[in-house]
Amino acid sequence: MTSELQPEQKPSEDSLPAEATLADGMRIIAELVRTLPKKPGVYRMIGADGEVLYVGKARSLRNRVAAYTQPTRLETRLMRMVSHTRSMEFVVTDSEAEALLLENNLIKRFRPRFNVLLRDDKSFPYIVIRRDTPWPQLAKHRGARQAGNEYFGPFASATAVNRTLYALQRAFPLRSCSDGVFSTRTRPCLQYQIKRCTAPCVGRIERPEYGGIVDEVRDFLGGRNREVQQALSQRMEAASNALHFEQAAVLRDRIRALAHIQSHQSISLDSIDEADIFAAHADSGQVCVQVFFLRAGQNLGNRAYFPSHAKELDPPAVLTAFIGQFYEARPAPKLILTSHDVDERELMESALALGAGHKVEIRTPRRGDQKDALDQAVTNAREALARRLAERGTQRQLLEGTARVLGLDASPERIEVYDNSHIQGTAPIGAMIVAGPEGFIKNSYRKFNIRSEGAAGDDFAMMREVLSRRFGRALKENPERDEDHWPDLVLIDGGQGQLEVARQVLAELGLEDIPIVGIAKGPDRDAGRERFFVPGKPPFSLEPRDPVLYFLQRLRDEAHRFAIGTHRTRRAGELTRSALDEVPGIGASRKRALLHHFGSARAVGAATLEDIKSVAGISDALARKIHDHFRGGG
């Protein structure tokens, strides 16, 4: 249970100093300390503009906040934070463990600049056996779980889960198609022909036999992989002895597929049912945290993180903050192995147990196979950080080279690249990709469905709409232009015409100070002979082997890839639409029932009213509406 302290405990705005100083911040905090309880809770330090500077938790709010009024006990980072503090907010909790959970939640919500921040915190994919269908489906899953289905994971990346699914489909030929495809099949698909599905859609397998395969894949993913392989080997030997060589060959291929899955496990601990490994390595003021996922004795992949933090923080402090935020929105496993002793380990275990619903142990092994696994994770963290530092050095040089060849005042920190995609005006898409010192910033990519009539197929009009929407909205949301989502360079995929359109849009919005450059393919569209267009300068080219040229080509190609992929996704969606989508009251399930009954939308349109009424889930009124729609009366 939590409770907010009364807002009147903040100093009035009139009492706040115009300029932030350490003495002013300490005075403001000291005024608040007198009214704080000696209870656990969470505090927020807030700057003059309302920015949340820091979120912290405390066993005793009064004692913890009072520490900020003693300058001799503060690090340089904390002195800066106190100097900027103009007010504070507090939440009282029932326990320190609840305070720790709330602290991590607020850090992820407000992303304060004086906290350690976990970046790139996407949800992890799982493998799911769907039980909400008569014929269970093996598929990849992200997001919320549904009751009744069985989930296995998490996997570290989409690549890891896709590779495992591919091998599982060879070993356990369950259906992988969607319900819509499954319900409309009239003959086996290609997956059946290549022995990766048993074609339950057309009755090529009985339910008991199909259920047996489902049990096998569940046992394998649940950790009983040796038993599953042994049973398959016995069946293969029996089939071979009975001279059923084709069946034996199928079983042999399934065993090989299972072996292929296990061959990709660089870390495997049979003694551990489930665990996550966190290994941290620091160098040059940065820390890499390498996370390995072990489930049922199998390695489900690993991922490297580079949390944002103050350079003076050591790896144990960064790792402690990282783990708390990592499990803020996901349950922790029963065991967590760490390369460093985390601060307040017992408190962390209690907080994680509250979120997971079971006991959680955090351990830093000193010997044995767990220590060996942890050492391997540390090696991965060290190598990942070395690669990142090398890439950042190279990336910085390329950005400096870009500023030099394009005549920019400074090295760009944020480059936005724009491209369009369409086929003869259909499914027109505008795309924006973003790059900076860290490389491509994919969570900042944006797509634009072209809305203007007449713009589809007109590259100039499409570019005008995209830039007008992007920068018009940016100005509306941040007219002072004091946030970090404004570009230092805009690259346009195109020549003089596209560049002039972009220049006009920015001029109309009063943004002439943003540098714009057009990049166009050279004669015969040869890569390496690109021409660059800069307002007020004649077009020019770079030397074919110039690293900056390769860098700018890569930016242009990434924008083109993103635009093409987005266009294909939109076009595929439009191609799969049918006439039934235009009938009010027809959702996915009723559409599926109609298509399964009649075979196609055209057959639905030709059906009689009585035939439509006979479809399960279609009422008399809806049948009349469908019937009239296809005859011009809907």
Q: What is the CATH number of the domain that holds 472?
A: 3.30.420.340
Report which of 306, 357, 351 is spatially closest to residue 104, judged by C-alpha positions: 351
86 and 33 part of one domain: yes
Q: How confident is the model at residue 565 (pLDDT cuts 50, 70, 90)?
A: confident
Mean pLDDT of 90-113: 91
Distance CA 5, CA 413 (A): 41
| 65/257: higher pLDDT | 65
Which tokens sit at 206?
A: 């009985």
Which tokens sit at 565?
A: 């992929």
pLDDT of residue 423: 60
Of 553, 574, 595, at which residue does a domain stop? 574
69 and 151 part of one domain: no
244 and 382 part of one domain: no
Q: Is the pLDDT of residue 352 over 80?
A: yes
434 and 565 part of one domain: yes
549 and 529 part of one domain: yes
Which tokens sit at 352?
A: 């994680």
Q: What is the DSSP string of 360-400?
A: -EEE---SHHHHHHHHHHHHHHHHHHHHHHHHHHHHHHHHH
pLDDT of residue 13: 40
For the chain, give the percent of residues with pLDDT over 70: 89
Q: Is the pLDDT of residue 632 over 70?
A: no
Which tokens sit at 126?
A: 């799982």
| 146/291: higher pLDDT | 291
For the chain, give the percent of residues with pLDDT over 90: 32
172 and 60 part of one domain: no
Which tokens sit at 234?
A: 């016995």
Contact between residue 329 and residue 106 where contact means Cβ atoms under 8 Å apart: no
Of 549, 574, 599, at which residue does a domain stop? 574
| 583/341: higher pLDDT | 341
Mean pLDDT of 87-99: 92
Which CATH number covers residue 620?
A: 1.10.150.20
199 and 331 part of one domain: no
Distance CA 238, CA 244 (A): 9
189 and 300 part of one domain: no
544 and 434 part of one domain: yes
Q: b vs e for 196-233, b when ≥16 Cβ sit within 10 Å of the residue's Cβ?
A: bbbbbbeeebeeeebeebbebbbebbebbbeebbeebe
Classify the phi-psi angles of 201: left when phi > 0, otherwise alpha if psi is within -120 to 50, otherwise beta.
Answer: alpha
593 and 536 part of one domain: no
Distance CA 325, CA 319 (A): 10
> Is the bond preceding 154 in cis, omega lying within 30 degrees of 0?
yes
Quick: pLDDT tens for 118-169.
Answer: 876 667 888 999 988 889 988 888 887 888 898 988 888 888 888 888 878 8
Distance CA 580, CA 459 (A): 33
Which CATH number covers residue 34?
A: 3.40.1440.10
In a domain, 76, yes or no: yes
Which tokens sit at 15?
A: 């009492």
pLDDT of residue 543: 86
Q: How confident is the model at residue 6 (pLDDT cuts 50, 70, 90)?
A: very low
Top-ranked range on mean pLDDT: pick from 38-52, 151-165, 437-451: 38-52
Q: How confident is the model at residue 18 (pLDDT cuts 50, 70, 90)?
A: very low
In a domain, 452, yes or no: yes
Domain holding 16, by residue range, is 2-110
Quick: pLDDT tens for 255-280.
Answer: 777 776 666 555 556 667 789 999 99
Mean pLDDT of 547-572: 84
| 7/136: higher pLDDT | 136
587 and 605 part of one domain: yes
pLDDT of residue 575: 47
In a domain, 460, yes or no: yes
Distance CA 216, CA 334 (A): 25
Report which of 317, 290, 294, 319 is spatially closest to residue 303, judged by C-alpha positions: 290
Residues 6 or more apart in contact with residue 33 via CB below 8 angstroms:
62, 65, 66, 69
439 and 491 part of one domain: yes
Quick: pLDDT tens for 414-435.
Answer: 999 999 886 655 668 889 999 9
Which tokens sit at 297?
A: 């004795």
In a domain, 295, yes or no: yes
- Domains in the chain: how many in total? 5
